[in-house]
Amino acid sequence: MLRSLQIRDFVIVDRLDLDFSAGFGALTGETGAGKSILLDALSLALGGRAETGVVRGGQARAEICADFDLPASPELADWLAGQGIDAEEGGLLLRRVVESGGRSRAWINGSAATLAQLRELGDALADIHGQHAHHALLRPDAQRQMLDQLAGATDVAAEVAVAWRGWRAASEARARAASDAERLGHERDLLAWQVQELEALDFDADGWQELNQEQSRLAHASSLLEGAQLAQVALRESEPALVTELERLASRLADLSAYDESLSPFAELLQSAAIQADEAAHGLQRYAERQDLDPARLQAIDDRIGVVTEMARKYRVAPEGLPDLLAEQRARLAGIDAAADPARLAQLEADARATFDEVASRLSARRLETATRLSVEVSEAMQSLAMAGGRFEVALLPEPDGSAHGRERVEFLVAGSPGQPLRPLGKVASGGELSRIGLAIQVIASSAGAAPTLIFDEVDVGIGGRVAEIVGQMLRRLGQSRQVLCVTHLPQVAAQADWQWSIAKEVRDGETLSAVHPLDDAGRVEEIARMLGGVQITRTTREHADEMLSRRD
């Protein structure tokens, strides 16, 4: 349950520190006093959308902290562990800061959190029903989503959507192959010819590099041979030969080093140079002997390079890109072969259809069970809400070809009085009936949910009198197993609450602010009397209020 809520500089709230109790709590007060603002602040802490206008005028930021008990839920414990959030103290502190410039930040138990994490956790902690929630029930998609949530089938519904898309994709692929058979045939022939041509080229990127190196060597063979021979002759065969001169100079300096040791290193360097020059001369001789002036080989290499270059130019790629082109064309050819295989495509479509049928059947079974239960429970609630003899039914209307939402459409049907046929909710219910039916559905849906805190924001609009008292009794009974918070203008509803707060506007230092006052028994009598009697509260009004509070069931 929600243990406390701290609000700083939010709309017309400067500072509020609220401690909540279990059971059914009513939040009452004049219109515009800020009752719904408290729930808006709580919604923000639970990951709701933030707007710059929520920051109180003249302040840098708004801050909301909501402290919840940790629900005894293995799924929630696993989620917290998976997010790396410590909850050893048995509580969950959700903090949200909205700056005047629009930036928003969030924390869970002191750890920075994303809004997605905050919303996911918030869904497990509290369920908020807005004052216009019953109008959303007129939409078929909202009806379907509510039924799936009650059935615990949202995951299966998501599987159905994926399976449906897979089935449709397979069906469209088969249909395209049938209608494009001629075009695909021409494209296949062209690709097959291109693959054959590229394979016949037998091109290898590494071999291409070696071929270019050999071509360069053969094309300059004469120059290479002439240069090697010239250097070899200068080193060993000319007069005087460089090697001989180096040896002579090294010997001369070695002799002179007997008189001056400092010449010895130079003699050694010259001797080393003579040895290396001699090795170079021998190596150049061997290199010259290996050179092969082979015009035929050079022509063959030039022809091969020409063929490869022409092929690359034809396909508008660099020669090095020819292997990738061949692989791409092979893949395209394989894809066309697969797409043009009627038996294979038909099997893929049949398999996808079978997958859809399997998951859709599971979804249908859960929907049917929950629809039957919800129909009975809402019909029973209608008998107490001034709609005696009325009936409610969740209809599952078959979709022969299926859809992304399963094998049936979900539609809420209602008959407001005995003898009337069942018709769609939006076409039959008056404004008052819609409010009552919508509230019954919301209460029943909330009782089936897992959230430990339920919040109703003026969901009792459009009802009054005896019906309002019954609604209050419904919320009171719901408060025996959950924490229920309800913003209400109806004294009949507020009188059924286990505890009550009055929210009012106060002027402090020339600024209008919202204040919250917990009410004791005497305070509740006064507040219920105000809600009953308006501006002038008489003794009779107070006695009526006291009677309403004393006859709570």
pTM > 0.75? no
Question: For the chain, how many residues are written?
Answer: 553
**183 φ/ψ sector (left φ>0, alpha ψ -120 to 50, else beta):** alpha
**473 φ/ψ sector (left φ>0, alpha ψ -120 to 50, else beta):** alpha
The pLDDT value recorded for residue 314 is 86
At residue 340, what is the residue type? A
Name the 3-class secondary structure at 551: coil
d(CA 467, CA 351): 54
Q: Where in the chain is the domain with CATH 3.40.50.300?
A: 1-131+458-553, 138-167+357-451
| Nearest C-alpha neighbor of 495 from the set 468, 458, 461, 463 | 468
The parts of the chain modelled with pLDDT lower than 70 are 88, 131-136, 178-185, 214-230, 232-233, 287-298, 338-341, 428-432, 435, 447-450, 459-462, 534-535, 553
The pLDDT value recorded for residue 135 is 64
The pLDDT value recorded for residue 447 is 66
Q: Where are the beta strands (DSSP E) in 75-173?
A: 91-99, 104-108, 111-113, 126-129
CATH class of 1-131+458-553: alpha beta
| Nearest C-alpha neighbor of 133 from the set 150, 146, 147, 118 | 146
d(CA 6, CA 54): 15
Contacts 24+ apart (CB under 8 A), 335-343: 336/184, 336/187, 336/188, 336/191, 337/188, 339/173, 339/176, 339/177, 339/184, 340/177, 340/181, 340/184, 340/185, 340/188, 341/177, 342/174, 342/177, 342/178
Q: Which two tokens stand for residue 297?
A: 């080989």
Q: Which two tokens stand for residue 286?
A: 């061997």
The pLDDT value recorded for residue 94 is 94
Q: Strands 111-113, 104-108: parallel, antiparallel or unpaired by DSSP? A: antiparallel
Name the 3-class secondary structure at 93: strand
Q: What angle do CA 538, 542, 548 make, to 5 degrees?
A: 145
| Nearest C-alpha neighbor of 92 from the set 45, 40, 48 | 45
Answer whether 483's CB lies under 8 Å from 454's CB. Answer: yes
The pLDDT value recorded for residue 393 is 93
Find out whether the peptide bond into 240 is cis, omega within 30 degrees of 0: yes
pLDDT in tens, 455-478: 888 766 667 778 888 888 888 888
pLDDT in tens, 496-549: 999 999 998 888 877 878 889 999 999 999 999 998 876 678 888 888 988 889
Name the 3-class secondary structure at 22: coil
**Dihedral angle sign, alpha carbons of residues 451, 453, 455, 460:** positive
Q: Where are the beta strands (DSSP E) in 445-510?
A: 453-457, 483-487, 499-508
d(CA 158, CA 167): 14
Fold category of 138-167+357-451 in CATH: Rossmann fold (3.40.50)
The pLDDT value recorded for residue 253 is 83
**25 φ/ψ sector (left φ>0, alpha ψ -120 to 50, else beta):** beta
The pLDDT value recorded for residue 345 is 79
The pLDDT value recorded for residue 506 is 84
Q: Which residues contact 264 (CB under 8 A, 6 or more apart)?
A: 253, 254, 257
